[in-house]
Structure 1
Amino acid sequence: MTAQYRNNFDFLRFLGAALIIFSHSFALSLGYANIYEFDWHILIGQFGLAVLLVISGYLIPASWERLPDYKVFFRKRLLRIAPGLIVSILAILFIIGPIATDLTLTEYFAALFSPATWTTLPFYTDGSALGLFTANPVTYVDAPLWAIPLEFFLYVVVAVMGIAGLLRYKISMVPFIAVTVLLWAVCYMLQPFDKIRFMIYFFVGAFLWINRERIVYKWYAVAAMWLLAFMFFHTQVFYVFAFIAIPYTVIWFANLPLERLHNFGKYGDFSFGMFIYGYPIQQTIVHFMPSIEIWQLILLSFVFTVPVAVLSFYLIERHALAKKDKIRADK
């Protein structure tokens, strides 16, 4: 492993995906009506997603800088996301769906291929049209997929800024951060606009990359940021400090000289597979074991999800990543 890659990002990606699965175990057991904004397990899941977005925000502008060609940029992004995502959708529809549906197989496939059903399927919100998880506390099929179009929108923002030459300016991300914070402050309680705040983590991550030569990372700065954040716990001001504390902490930790974590991803990056498969696997467990305890669900979620994520990486994602690494700009 070269010095260029001696960091802890692989571990942090795995941790982020794992925290999301952990958090969803509570939501899928209790139902969203019985959980609250500042419940500790909800914040853990949001922290996990924030970690993933910070890393993405930090590394995606770096990718553009290495090869500033929009065709190459988007081909690489698609190769990272699309193959694994498409296979996961097919697995949900043709493996999980038939065994977990309340409909007969004839009814299920009739519903599956109905144009009316497809209007509800693009990112898998409610599964009732297919008879999926209708008796579960939550009826979503793969709710985390809402983050993927958001992520792709952020890629578009980076590409447009790159084409316009804005990424060379140290303060280029500041207007995006300010506008997004303002939008969140105005409409954070309005679905689906409450999710706007997750864009902030990406933009701050990008800001940290663009200003990487100027920003110094110290443990006591991390401690001070979190102290300020928790002084305002149970208020919206907590999130404002988290917008700074989480990105700073993630990049600080990513660059710590922790030799064991530097090699964490030597067998592969399983975080994306965990992200796209965790929720439907958890829903399937709850479907067949409706009385399962939360801690049992947490255990079984990882027992089933991690092997599936490993298979996804070795059978699908790895081959796409190999093609991604060979892409060069057109002459």
Structure 2
Amino acid sequence: MKTIVPNRSNNFDIIRFVAASQVVIWHSIEHLFLNNITVSNIIKKIIEPIPGVPIFFVISGFLIYTSYERNNNLRQYLKNRMLRIFPGLWFVFIFTLLMLTILGFIIPNIMLKSFWLWVFTQITIFQFYTPDFLRSFGAGNPNGSLWTIFIEFSFYLFIPFLFLLKKINFRIIAIIILIGISILYNFWYNDNFKARAQDLNIIQKLLGLNLLPYLFYFLIGVLIKIKWEVIKIYFVNKGFVWLSCYFSYYIIFFFNT
């Protein structure tokens, strides 16, 4: 099967920028307690239909599938994925450690087991852990956005298993089934745990922070990649059309809420 790699004209960098901007602006308004300002609420209304994190996961599905399809040497694939994540991650950790030391969070707690557990989690893929002595820093987590690293790495490990299905039609069927399972899992988790998120134990929290709740976003990206030659007529050179749809949606629903 011929591998078709979309070129840079697909504007992934622009999509990433828009998604990242949505996340930064949304969380800035939340964490800086700007919700009571009229302008802030208008901005949130505008960016609400552009969910940043799900967009990143969909893009990951598209690009990671493309990467493994292009070169399915498992050793090289995992090496490339790790080189993509860890150098930048370790740089961020060193910078964060220096900043927290200067601000007085590290020295008084350096002998605590929770400190060294935090160090381990920050240099691996378990960034969702935050010890109690850091809960008073900022919004309660020095690098709150890094929780996605664990999910992203789970996506990396998932893709080779998908390629065990050699026939593309079987692969598509499996993807559709897994999308359905992932969505149903979200309904189950939200019904049972979402309302009492602050009172969950570690096991219950991990039920919501693993591959399965986010898998459907990733697999939608994979499905788009597989069917790209069929559906690209709806996306290529259609930026103005999609922007028009977005602003129409915004105008209709904003002025009716």
Q: Same fold (TM over 0.5)?
A: yes
Kindly state the Cα deviation for residue 210 of structure 1 after the two structures are TM-superposed.
1.1
Does the 8 Å CA contact 1:161/1:167 hold for their aligned counterparts?
no
Kindly state the Cα deviation for residue 130 of structure 1 after the two structures are TM-superposed.
4.6
Q: CA RMSD in A?
A: 3.5
Letter in 2 for 1:92: T
- Number of the residue aligned with 1:217: 234
Would you say 1:74 and 2:72 are equivalent positions? no
Structure 2, unaligned stretches of length 5 or more?
Answer: 36-40, 122-126, 198-204
Once the two structures are superposed, what CA deviation does each residue of 1:135-162 show, in whole Å capped at 9, x if it has no partner? x5x3122111111111111111111112
Q: 1:178 to 1:44 in 2, by over 3 A?
A: same
Q: Partners in 2 of 1:39 and 1:180 — Cα distance?
A: 32
Does the 8 Å CA contact 2:74/2:160 hold for their aligned counterparts?
yes
- Number of the residue aligned with 1:174: 176
TM-score (norm 1): 0.55
Once the two structures are superposed, what CA deviation does each residue of 1:75-115 show, in whole Å capped at 9, x if it has no partner? 11111111000110111012x102333x5xxxx23523532
Kindly state the Cα deviation for residue 165 of structure 1 after the two structures are TM-superposed.
2.8
1:17-56 pair list within 5 angstroms: 17-30=20-33, 41=44, 44=48, 47-56=51-60
TM-score (norm 2): 0.69
Q: Partners in 2 of 1:152 and 1:146 — Cα distance?
A: 11
Does the 8 Å CA contact 2:135/2:141 hold for their aligned counterparts?
no
- Number of the residue aligned with 1:270: none
Kindly state the Cα deviation for residue 7 of structure 1 after the two structures are TM-superposed.
2.4
Report the 3-state secondary structure (helix = DSSP H, G, I; strand = E; otherwise coil) of the residue aligned with 1:141.
Answer: coil
- Number of the residue aligned with 1:116: 114
Structure 1: which 4+ aligned runs deviate by more than 6 Å?
Answer: none
Would you say 1:58 and 2:62 are equivalent positions? yes
| Aligned pair partner of 2:93 in 89, 94, 104 | 89
1:222-237 pair list within 5 angstroms: 223=245
1:176-195 pair list within 5 angstroms: 176-188=178-190, 189-190=193-194, 191=197, 192=205, 193-194=207-208
Kindly state the Cα deviation for residue 166 of structure 1 after the two structures are TM-superposed.
6.0
| Aligned pair partner of 1:206 in 213, 219, 222 | 222
> What is the number of residues matched between the two proteins?
213
Q: 1:171 to 1:158 in 2, by over 3 A?
A: same
- Number of the residue aligned with 2:19: 16
Instruction: Tell me the percent identity.
Output: 22
Q: Which has the higher contact order (CA 8 A, sep 6+)?
A: 1
Does the 8 Å CA contact 1:22/1:45 hold for their aligned counterparts?
no
Structure 1, unaligned stretches of length 5 or more?
Answer: 33-37, 232-331
